[in-house]
Structure 1
Amino acid sequence: MTRLTEEARGVYVIAVTPFAEDGALDLQSIDKMVDFYLEAGATGLTALGMMGEAPKLTGAESLQVVKRILARLDGRIPMVVGVSAPGFAQMAELTRASMDLGAGGVMIAPPGSLKTDEQVVNYYRQAAEFIGNVPFVLQDFPLATGVHIPVSAIARIVEEVPTCVCLKHEDWPGLEKITALRAAGTLNRRISILCGNGGVFLPEEMDRGADGAMTGFCYPEMMRDIVHHCSKGEGDRARDLFNAYLPLARYEQQPGLGLAVRKYVLAKRGVIASAALRRPGAGLTQAAQQEVDMLLARQEQRLKELD
């Protein structure tokens, strides 16, 4: 088992959950998907995230997905499991089971009921007590959770909860938050910062001090290359590549439609057998499919021009 640490960097791809047309789990596609992410250069995987349709799975199915992915990974890269839950009992149970199967850590988002900084800090303090000595990712995604976590609260969590090793940064706008967190003296120890939002701000986030991405996109190669070139100081090359993918990344960021776009493209690429979302959730209309196909064709042309 490779445990998540403060040194996490690169691209931790948020894995989709493949379903058959009838809504059943597609375990064979999970195997193909894991192979694809490894070939695309992922340095880690994250399962059961918000874009992994985790709330649509039963408890048994969640463990089935975790077990299948970990078996295919075979320890080659670490895996983070989303364990956010209404109560700490469910969170602790899924955490224990996932870690026993070989996961490297877990990810915890705050519930929308938290209204003050003190409540946020106390929530993560209690969550850490329930899951024990397990490294976790603090998911800061106010657009989805409705919980705004200021730099001062993050600093307190990092200081008071040593098992918090990574921030999944998805505030929007949030570039100034990264700068503040990386400023000398803000945190009492350095933690990993991996960014979300489909990678649409990744070049700027890397420039501000992020260590990589923890998000999904139907072309994870984009995130791999952006992180690689930014880390080597090759900002112009990173942005040229980013610009080639940007129209599709922008289209995939549509609220309520993004996962359908991602699954449609992954199915076209042969990564998963079906683009089906488990209900409630619908696929793309014919008009949307035609728009995505056009974006794919133009993306391919732009990439050829960069070679």
Structure 2
Amino acid sequence: MENTQNQTDIYSLSIMTDRNRALAATVYRPKDEVKTAVMIAPATGIKRQFYHNFATYLAASGFGVLTFDNEGIGESINSDLSKCDASLISWGRHDMPAVLDALQDEFPDATYHLIGHSAGGQLIGLMPNYQAIASVFNVACSSGQIKNMDMPYKLKAMGFMDAFIPLTNLTFGYTPADKIGMGEPLPRGVARQWREWCNGSGYIKTAFGKSIHTHFYDEINMPALWLGFSDDEIANSKNIDDMIRVFSKMPVEKRFFEPEEFGLNSIGHMRYFSSKTNAKAPQLWQMAVDWLAKQQ
């Protein structure tokens, strides 16, 4: 299928969370009736524009799509970043539920699905309205447990988590992750929890009974497909399994690939969503289309 923007209405949306924070979002509306609608939940510190080509592809395949910037990221920065009190917990408990509500408002006669990239898939268990989600398609979603990473990347991760984050949070009141190629600048609460959770087993599980007393990880049971790639130094196979175990009732199909299977040199943690990757290996994006079509 030729995927062109003129098949799709694309427009901006402002979504208000129950924290009274406005999130910047983009709606991709196919010309025909929408029976399946998707929210794309982003990785930590990644702006919604990163998913534009992928979202356009899905919309051209007949799916309604909504992308968004989490609080404190991109166009959802509502104040000086050093004063932003967003956290990974607030992203999962407040931002993502508000986006799911907006998806239902935009496409009232559809079924609703979540495509999660890294943190976007990790935080589903904090969503009080998770039952509206019919299926999950996760890419590069794992616990990010540093202990399971290989050298030399493990040293890089330790330096970022255990030195760069606390030092810059103390100095600037936020983490300028963009300075070292780790996405957008991060609110200090996001960066602090990211560090704490990646230093333990089960990512968010390390916060259960501490900063998290209510969650739904042991209730979620919608079908899910998790994709991983052998050259992803963060979401390696051990860390994907570590995260899947937190979703104790989720029926997961895990697919783990070598980039060479698709004639690619690398996919890693980010390149699944690249239009260049899709041009060389269209079957990767087609996996998402096939999964969503199967859930109808």
The verdict on a shared fold, with TM-score over 0.5 as the criterion, is no
Bigger strand fraction: 2
TM-score by length of 2: 0.31
Relative to its length, the structure with more helix (as a share) is: 1
